[in-house]
Structure 1
Amino acid sequence: MNILAYIESGILEEYVLGTVSPQEKQEVECMSHIYPEIKEELMRTESALEQYALKYQTPPPASLKETLFAQMNFDEVIKPELAEPADTDVSALEEADRENTIKILPVTEQIQTEEPIAERNVFTNELNTGGTVIYPAWAKFAVAASILFALLFGWSAMKTSDLTKQNEELAASSETMKSDLDVLKKDAEYNQTLAALYRNPSFKVVKMSGLAKSPESSVAAIWDTKTNEILLDVQNLPAAPQGKQYQLWTIVDGKPVDMGVLDQEFSKKLLKMKQANPSAVAFAITLEKTGGSPSPTMEDMFVMGKV
């Protein structure tokens, strides 16, 4: 359920204005019970509309009641009593009918021909004599509701934009944190592995210190005395320049023996090299061309350590 998209759809504003269908009304009420975010937004919209209506409401004038009653005619129409037929001749009867008609007609004629009474505009409190259009209350409320809806829509769009930006920043921060945690986890695993090797009596650690070429360099050769396998822990060594690669050597009977080249990416990694000769008396690393060299370049020797 995409709560943000549902709020942005505008159905909450339509619900508050009462323009939704019965099915949509039931849906909004159900969603507001399930998701607190929707309920909070709905309450905020209802409160905004109520405050707007209270702020701009116009009470009816005190004279409205009198104006309405003045337009109503409560005169009772009394039917004339007819004289007895025996005592009245035909001409008298016709005269009576004529008089009765005269008595009744003015009421009807008054309703049809009387000048319209000036009406008071309940919104402007001004008399309306026919030239001013009086708008009903629902029209005023509809205009106010439309303005309020536009304001709420703009406010909602602004809040949505801010929320989207916050979500993006949170996602980016989360990815950065995840990446940092992964690095810390790998470092922890690497350090645990090193600690286990350094504590194992079957492994001999030969520390190679930096020479004049690179005094700050430091590499440790971890020698398995049972299998003669060599693992390198590169603690500090400059990155090899383009077209160059580091190469490990051992000194056996006064001669250098190739032990293989180091990976270009050697930081925080245990590098497995060739098996060492049990008679090796020293380890050294030189910088050679990519792929290694059959003999070491002595002027490019970076570190060296005695067994």
Structure 2
Amino acid sequence: MDIKAYIESGILELYVAGQLSEKENQEVYDLLQQYPELLQEVLEIEAAVVKLTAAVSPHAIDFDSFKGKLNATDTKVVDLKPKKPNWISYTGWAASILLAGGLLWTLNNKNQLEDQLQTAETEKRYLEIQIEDARTDLAATKNLLDAIRDKDIIAVPLGGQGDYASNYAKVYWNKADNTIYLDAEGLPNAPEGKVWQVWSLTLNPLTPTSLGTIDNFNTDDNKIFTIANANESQAFGITLEPAGGSESPTMEQLYTLGVVNTQP
């Protein structure tokens, strides 16, 4: 006989609850006499039901009788005659089981609902942030387009130099508010420990003035940077310098250069 399969079938729970026919009760009783494992399982089921009933309705238990059974040392005195349905007592047990199961089901569903609400709220907040970021980016893009489309803007292409002929950039210079907009899409990411540095140049004599370093170049998505420039620039250049920048441009690392054309 497959003891494990028989236990898992649930028939022992029905036996304890008095839900079997007299014939089925007799069959289970006979098996309990043959297999100690089944006897132990029945005792454990009865103990669990008694404990559950006590937790839900303490007055339903005869504690003196139950205590006497716990103190017994000889398991052979346990009476396992075929059980007849005891509808009054087992109805109470069944109600207790249903109540406990209902409480567990309700608690579990409440926790699941709270988790779902929390997830929905988090997703809603994340979507709101994305929408707000998109609006901010759209507004910034519109402002930038308006600036570089101004009729008085001066566009200065910066061509690649020497070994860096494939690189390029472009400066949009608004002399009215001393601002340049640098489009550096044509430059590669700066290597570790290096930064791009922008220079304003006068040509005669050649005098470079630093406009600062682009420290966030590698992480910026659109590669367009707004830079203050109050100089009377005749050209603009971009060099690759050590982190922190240099006082004068490293000419061997001059990537792009462009001369300002002031002619209409």
In which range does the TM-score fall when normalised by the shorter chain?
0.5 to 0.7
Q: Is the 2:199–2:212 Cα contact (8 Å) retained in structure 1?
A: no
Q: Residues 34-45 of structure 1 correspond to what in structure 2 (within 5 A)?
A: none
Amino acid in structure 1 at the alignment position of 2:211: G
1:301 aligns to 2:254 (yes or no)? yes
TM-score (norm 1): 0.46
Q: Is the 2:198–2:212 Cα contact (8 Å) retained in structure 1?
A: yes
Going from structure 1 to structure 2, the CA distance change for 1:146 and 1:227 (only over 3 Å counts) comes to closer
1:252 aligns to 2:202 (yes or no)? yes
Going from structure 1 to structure 2, the CA distance change for 1:208 and 1:164 (only over 3 Å counts) comes to farther
1:163 aligns to 2:113 (yes or no)? yes
Structure 2: stretches of 5+ with no match in the other structure: 1-18, 20-82
Structure 1: stretches of 5+ with no match in the other structure: 1-57, 59-131
1:272 aligns to 2:223 (yes or no)? no
1:289 aligns to 2:242 (yes or no)? yes
Q: Is the 2:237–2:258 Cα contact (8 Å) retained in structure 1?
A: yes
Per-residue CA deviation, residues 134-192 of structure 1 (Å, 9 max, x unaligned), is: 8575x554333211122222222332343344334434433443443343223212211
CA–CA separation in structure 2 for the residues paired with 1:234 and 1:152: 66
Alignment equivalent of 2:142, drawn from 192, 204, 211? 192
1:145 aligns to 2:74 (yes or no)? no
Q: Is the 1:259–1:276 Cα contact (8 Å) retained in structure 2?
A: no
Going from structure 1 to structure 2, the CA distance change for 1:134 and 1:296 (only over 3 Å counts) comes to closer
Shift in Å at residue 196 of structure 1?
0.8
Q: Is the 2:213–2:244 Cα contact (8 Å) retained in structure 1?
A: no
Shift in Å at residue 197 of structure 1?
0.6
The count of aligned residue pairs is 174
CA–CA separation in structure 1 for the residues paired with 2:140 and 2:200: 25
Q: Residues 217-232 of structure 1 correspond to what in structure 2 (within 5 A)?
A: 218-232=168-182
**Using CA pairs below 8 Å that are at least 6 residues apart, which structure has the higher relative contact order?**
2
Q: Is the 2:159–2:165 Cα contact (8 Å) retained in structure 1?
A: no
CA–CA separation in structure 2 for the residues paired with 1:186 and 1:214: 36
Going from structure 1 to structure 2, the CA distance change for 1:135 and 1:272 (only over 3 Å counts) comes to same
Going from structure 1 to structure 2, the CA distance change for 1:236 and 1:161 (only over 3 Å counts) comes to farther
Shift in Å at residue 285 of structure 1?
0.6
1:213 aligns to 2:164 (yes or no)? yes
SS at 1:232 equivalent: strand
Provide the residue aligned with 2:80 in structure 1. none
Tell me which structure has the larger Cα radius of gyration: 1
Amino acid in structure 1 at the alignment position of 2:247: P
Give runs of ≥4 in structure 1 deviating > 6 Å: none
Provide the residue aligned with 1:177 in structure 2. 127
Going from structure 1 to structure 2, the CA distance change for 1:288 and 1:273 (only over 3 Å counts) comes to farther
Q: Is the 1:240–1:264 Cα contact (8 Å) retained in structure 2?
A: no
Task: Please give the root-mean-square deviation of Cα atoms over the aligned residues, in Å.
Answer: 3.4
SS at 1:261 equivalent: strand
Provide the residue aligned with 1:110 in structure 2. none
